[in-house]
Amino acid sequence: MAVSARDICARAGELYRCQRDGHRARSVCPDGTAHEVDVLKLLCLTELIDYELNLVEVHGGDIFAKAAIEAGDIVTFYPGDAAAHFPTAGTDISLRLMSDRMRRIGGEVSMGNSVEAGEGFRIAGHPSFEDDPNYLGHLISTAPHANCRLEVLYGIAVSVVATAGLEAGEELKL
C-alpha cells in the first residue's frame, strides 16, 4: 500500500511533537523584547521532504493539474525557503531560518508573500524554484474563485489542498 503525503507528514509531526520541548531558544527582537522560540519548528518548516507528489506542473509561471485530482487531495506544498517567527502580530521577526536550497544559492527570500504556518510562524517560497512538484504552492495564483486552499499540517508543513475536483490541464488557484 502506498504511503500518502498526509501519512508522511503525520509521522514527521509526531516526531516533532515528541522532541519540540528540548529545542526552544530565547531570541531577542530588534525592539529589545525577548521571546522563546520553537527552533525545531523552524527547522521542520524549512525541511523539504520528498512526498513523491507528481500531480502538478508549471507552464508560463502558472500551476496546472497534470491529471484529474479529487477534492480533498494534497496537490503540492508551500515551500519553507524562509521560515520566520513573529512573536506577536505586527512585530519584527525574532528568528529566521533559510532552507538548504536557499543557502546553496545564497539568495534572500522576501517575507512579503509569506503564509501563516501557525503559532506566529510564517513561511515563504523563492520564485526561482519551480522544478520540484512537491513544492509549488508559492507559485499558485490567487483568485476570487479558488479551487485550492492552504492547510497547516501537524504544525510543520503547509499543504495545498484541492477544494473541488480538478481536471487535467486545469489551473490551480488559491
Band of residue 85 on the pLDDT scale cut at 50, 70, 90? confident
Whether 59 has a pLDDT exceeding 90, the answer reads: yes
168 falls within a domain: no
Closest CA to 59 of 125, 115, 158, 133: 133
Helix axes 39-46, 5-19, angle to 10 degrees: 160
**Helix residue ranges, H only, 106-150:** none
Q: Are 23 and 40 in contact (CB under 8 A)?
A: yes
Q: Is residue 107 part of a domain?
A: yes
Q: Which domain holds residue 112?
A: 5-162
Could you read off the pLDDT of 113-170 as tens digits, one per residue? 899 999 889 999 999 999 999 999 999 999 999 999 999 999 999 999 999 999 999 9
Q: What pLDDT score was predicted for residue 1?
A: 54
pLDDT tens figures, 10-38: 999 999 999 988 888 887 777 777 778 88
CA distances from 171 to 64, 69, 92 (A): 4, 12, 35
Answer whether residue 167 is part of any domain: no
Number of domains making up the chain: 1
Q: Spell out the residues 6+ positions from residue 74 whose beta carbon is closer than 8 angstroms to its own.
A: 4, 5, 6, 51, 53, 151, 159, 160, 161
Instruction: Give the model's confidence band at 90: pLDDT under 50 very low, under 70 low, under 90 confident, else very high.
Output: low
Q: What is the pLDDT of residue 108?
A: 84
Residue 10 lies in a domain: yes
Residue 174 lies inside a defined structural domain of this protein: no
Cβ burial, residue 47 (10 Å; 0-12/13-18/19+): middle
Cell of 141: 495564483
Indicate whether 17 belongs to any domain: yes
| Average of per-residue pLDDT values in the chain | 90
Does some domain include residue 134?
A: yes
Question: What local confidence, expressed as pLDDT, does residue 55 receive?
Answer: 95
